[in-house]
């Protein structure tokens, strides 16, 4: 069995999915969960791109132990310096800088306006520069799969000579076909001097639905590392999905002599946690983690599964940690039991955060007799989302019915100050959103609104996920409550707070600046 390194970029490329941005605290929680899941490397962000990105990388670097923490940089001095600043307190063998420059003709001509020689010169210069601070340096030739092969070989040769310890081959726009991509990897393996001394990594996008197939073809042709994201989130159609690739290797080990360090029984909880945090729900038929994956609708299939499960199932739900809804704990469960339960899902919270989760858990257990795993994920992500600054819903009142105009009144609090407003709308949720807009003095556009039950049964909580467009940028929010109007209001305020935080319009730990 050849061991394949799993380089997870959920926190970098994954976070580039529209609406997937995470706070620093959320990133830390996802990183801890990835560490427990068993990934080898965590790409935590792109430090030069914003102060939140910088802080996120720094915080992740101090919160996980085993994985190598990676951060992205262009072939530019200040980018590499920012990565160094964010990672400098980590052990040298546990930190890596990922430098990239585009190499394809279309990127050279229209984006970079650079000749081949200039690109090679930059690779030489900036990989060497990165090498001054880092033992581990990954070099990516962006849009490698659309680059002329002789030039691509030159580019990787230059990077290795300058000290790169990993060379990464991105199919940036998801254009490659599996046999073609496999052949490219073989050609590089045979043609790049020194390649036998470095890791050969691939990074595939899913624009044609081939990211997983291309990554697999690369492994079969000599790649030693794959770059993946949980639930396949990422730019445009996303990246190679961690859960799909890992389960292919596991389920078809008869044909695929490769192994990873992933604890597959944590895949489903990890996927659910990410879904709760980002608000990006995988399609119901998404392989491995979609809602429908272990449901059998046709009578013939149901009959077959009841007689012998393997007739229609090639893996067990428990292989990926997906049991039928488990009753977590009841209202009399103590802190110890709750902590143990969270730990089985790789959730290691700080004392302060655990205390908040415990309080919300007991509150919920009082309202709802049965608390399920889904409720727990929901509580954890809610606590992670609690605004360290911005607006908080203090009180609301709605008046609705089929023969009257729905009206909502809200009281919000920001930095100790109360703001109140009332509005009418097409329904109670619409009235509520308008009242919030009026209280805050903002005009977001509602782009997406999804409501679903957390768990099952009549007393399930309602979960609202929504996306707002504010000044042309997207911000997602999430709220959970046994009352769906309240869940909607929390999600709405949550998204607005993200905007205010991103724009520096709220003071840390306090209220709005104006
Ligand atoms: O898709 C891509 O090319 C990337 C690079 C930065 C590796 O994300
Ligand atoms: Zn990418």
Ligand 1 center to residue 297 CA distance, Å?
A: 40
**Angle between helices 267-278 and 242-251 in degrees, nearest 10:** 170
Answer yes or no: is 435 within a domain: yes
Find the ligand nearest to 141 CA.
Answer: 1
| Beta-carbon contacts of residue 482 (< 8 Å; ≥ 6 apart) | 367, 368, 459, 461, 462
Tell whether the model's pLDDT for residue 296 goes beyond 80: no
| Inter-residue contact 239 to 233 (CB < 8 Å) | yes
Total number of domains constituting the chain: 3
pLDDT value of residue 283: 92
Residues at CB less than 6 angstroms from ligand 1: 13, 100, 140, 142, 168, 170, 172, 203, 205
**Residue-averaged pLDDT of the chain:** 91
Residues 360, 235: one domain?
no
Domain finish residue from 384, 419, 449: 384
Instruction: From residue 81, give the alpha-carbon distance in Å to each of 29, 53, 77, 120, 458.
Output: 26, 14, 6, 21, 54
Ligand 1 center to residue 3 CA distance, Å?
A: 23
Share of the chain above pLDDT 70, in %: 95
Give the ranges where 252-406 is alpha helix by DSSP (H). 267-278, 299-307, 335-344, 351-367, 373-385
Ligand 2 center to residue 101 CA distance, Å?
A: 12
Residues 436, 479: one domain?
yes
Please state the atom number of ligand 1 nearest to the C-alpha of residue 144. 3
Lowest-confidence range among 35-44, 102-111, 274-283, 499-508? 499-508
| Beta-carbon contacts of residue 332 (< 8 Å; ≥ 6 apart) | none
Q: Is the pTM of this model over 0.85?
A: no
Find the ligand nearest to 101 CA.
Answer: 1
Find the ligand nearest to 229 CA.
Answer: 2
Residue 470's CATH number: 3.30.160.270
Model confidence at 456, pLDDT cuts 50, 70, 90, reads low
Answer yes or no: is 260 within a domain: yes
Residues 270, 153: one domain?
yes
Taking the C-alpha atoms of residue 490 and residue 322, their distance in angstroms, rounded to an integer, is 29
| Inter-residue contact 258 to 2 (CB < 8 Å) | yes
pLDDT value of residue 385: 65
Residue to probe by mutation, ligand 1, list 47, 74, 140, 176, most atoms within 8 Å of CB: 140
Residues 347, 263: one domain?
no
Share of the chain above pLDDT 90, in %: 67
Answer yes or no: is 126 within a domain: yes
Residues 240, 335: one domain?
no
Q: Which of 219, 83, 72, 190 is nearest to 142 (CA)?
A: 72
Task: Determine which residue's CA is closest to atom 2 belonging to ligand 1.
Answer: 172
Taking the C-alpha atoms of residue 511 and residue 424, their distance in angstroms, rounded to an integer, is 27
Model confidence at 26, pLDDT cuts 50, 70, 90, reads confident
Ligand 2 center to residue 209 CA distance, Å?
A: 14
Residue 152's CATH number: 3.20.20.70
Residue to probe by mutation, ligand 1, list 203, 225, 228, most atoms within 8 Å of CB: 203
Write the secondary structure of 59-96 as one string of H (helix), E (strand) and C (coil).
Answer: HHHCCCCCCEEEEEEECCHHHHHHHHHHHCCCCHHHEE
Ligand 1 center to residue 277 CA distance, Å?
A: 23
Residues 338, 437: one domain?
no
Residues 467, 370: one domain?
no
Taking the C-alpha atoms of residue 418 and residue 412, their distance in angstroms, rounded to an integer, is 6
Tell whether the model's pLDDT for residue 514 goes beyond 50: no
Residues 157, 35: one domain?
yes
Find the ligand nearest to 240 CA.
Answer: 2
Q: pLDDT, tens digit, for every residue of 138-151? A: 999 999 999 999 99
Answer yes or no: is 95 within a domain: yes
Task: Determine which residue's CA is closest to atom 5 belonging to ligand 1.
Answer: 142
Residues 92, 177: one domain?
yes
pLDDT value of residue 504: 79
Residues 407, 368: one domain?
no
Residues 98, 213: one domain?
yes
| Residue span of the structural domain in which 457 resides | 392-502
| Inter-residue contact 412 to 392 (CB < 8 Å) | yes
Instruction: From residue 295, give the alpha-carbon distance in Å to each of 148, 292, 299, 312, 324.
Output: 46, 5, 12, 10, 11
Please state the atom number of ligand 1 nearest to the C-alpha of residue 16. 8
Tell whether the model's pLDDT for residue 298 goes beyond 90: no
Answer yes or no: is 88 within a domain: yes
Half-sphere CA count of 306, side-chain side, radius 13 A: 8
Q: pLDDT, tens digit, for every residue of 361-394? A: 888 888 776 777 778 888 887 787 665 578 999 9
| Inter-residue contact 112 to 120 (CB < 8 Å) | no
Ligand 2 center to residue 239 CA distance, Å?
A: 7
Mean pLDDT on 7-16: 96
Residues 113, 173: one domain?
yes
Tell whether the model's pLDDT for residue 331 goes beyond 90: no
Answer yes or no: is 318 within a domain: no
Answer yes or no: is 158 within a domain: yes
Answer yes or no: is 146 within a domain: yes
Domain finish residue from 216, 246, 278: 278
pLDDT value of residue 157: 98
Mean pLDDT on 128-143: 98
Show the tokens assigned to 489.
């209001």
Domain finish residue from 278, 301, 317: 278
Model confidence at 243, pLDDT cuts 50, 70, 90, reads very high
Ligand 1 center to residue 465 CA distance, Å?
A: 28
DSSP H or E run through 421: strand 417-424
């Amino acid at each position: 069995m050849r061991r394949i390194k799993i380089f997870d970029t959920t926190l970098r490329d994954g976070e580039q999915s529209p609406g997937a941005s995470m706070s620093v605290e959320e990133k830390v929680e996802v990183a801890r969960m990835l560490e427990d899941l068993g990934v080898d490397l965590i790409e935590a962000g792109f430090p030069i791109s914003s102060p939140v990105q910088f802080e996120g990388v720094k915080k992740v670097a101090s919160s996980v132990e085993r994985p190598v923490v990676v951060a992205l940089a262009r072939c530019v001095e200040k980018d590499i310096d920012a990565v160094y600043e964010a990672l400098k307190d980590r052990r040298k063998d546990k930190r890596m800088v990922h430098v990239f420059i585009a190499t394809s003709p279309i990127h050279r001509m229209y984006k970079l306006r650079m000749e081949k020689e200039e690109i090679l010169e930059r690779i030489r210069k900036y990989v060497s520069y990165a090498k001054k601070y880092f033992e581990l340096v990954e070099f990516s030739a962006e849009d490698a799969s659309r680059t002329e092969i002789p030039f691509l070989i030159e580019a990787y040769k230059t990077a290795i000579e300058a000290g790169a310890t990993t060379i990464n081959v991105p199919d940036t726009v998801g254009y490659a076909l599996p046999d073609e991509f496999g052949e490219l990897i073989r050609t590089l393996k045979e043609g790049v001097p020194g390649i036998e001394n470095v890791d050969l990594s691939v990074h595939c996008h899913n624009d044609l639905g081939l990211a997983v197939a291309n990554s697999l073809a690369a492994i079969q042709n000599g790649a030693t590392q794959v770059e993946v994201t949980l639930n396949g989130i990422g730019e445009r159609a996303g990246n190679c999905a961690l859960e799909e690739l890992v389960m292919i290797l596991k389920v078809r080990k008869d044909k695929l002599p490769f192994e990873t360090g992933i604890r597959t029984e944590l895949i489903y909880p990890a996927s659910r946690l990410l879904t709760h945090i980002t608000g990006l729900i995988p399609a119901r038929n998404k392989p491995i983690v979609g809602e429908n994956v272990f449901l059998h609708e046709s009578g013939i299939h149901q009959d077959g599964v009841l007689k012998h499960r393997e007739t229609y199932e090639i893996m067990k739900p428990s292989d990926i940690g997906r049991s039928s809804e488990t009753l977590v704990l009841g209202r009399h469960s103590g802190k110890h039991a709750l902590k143990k339960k969270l730990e089985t899902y790789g959730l290691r919270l700080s004392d302060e955060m655990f205390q908040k989760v415990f309080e919300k858990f007991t509150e919920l257990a009082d309202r709802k007799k049965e608390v399920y795993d889904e409720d727990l994920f929901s509580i954890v992500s809610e606590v992670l989302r609690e605004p360290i600054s911005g607006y908080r819903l203090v009180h609301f009142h709605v008046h609705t019915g089929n023969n009257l105009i729905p009206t909502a009144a809200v009281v919000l609090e920001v930095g100790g100050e109360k703001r109140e407003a009332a509005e009418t709308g097409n329904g109670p949720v619409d009235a509520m959103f308008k009242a919030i807009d009026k209280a805050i003095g903002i005009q977001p556009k509602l782009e997406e609104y999804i409501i679903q039950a957390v768990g099952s049964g009549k007393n399930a909580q309602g979960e609202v996920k929504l996306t707002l467009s504010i000044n042309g940028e997207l911000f997602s929010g999430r709220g959970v409550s046994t009352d769906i109007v309240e869940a909607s209001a929390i999600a709405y305020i949550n998204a607005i707070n993200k905007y205010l935080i991103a724009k520096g319009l709220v003071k840390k730990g306090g209220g709005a600046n104006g």
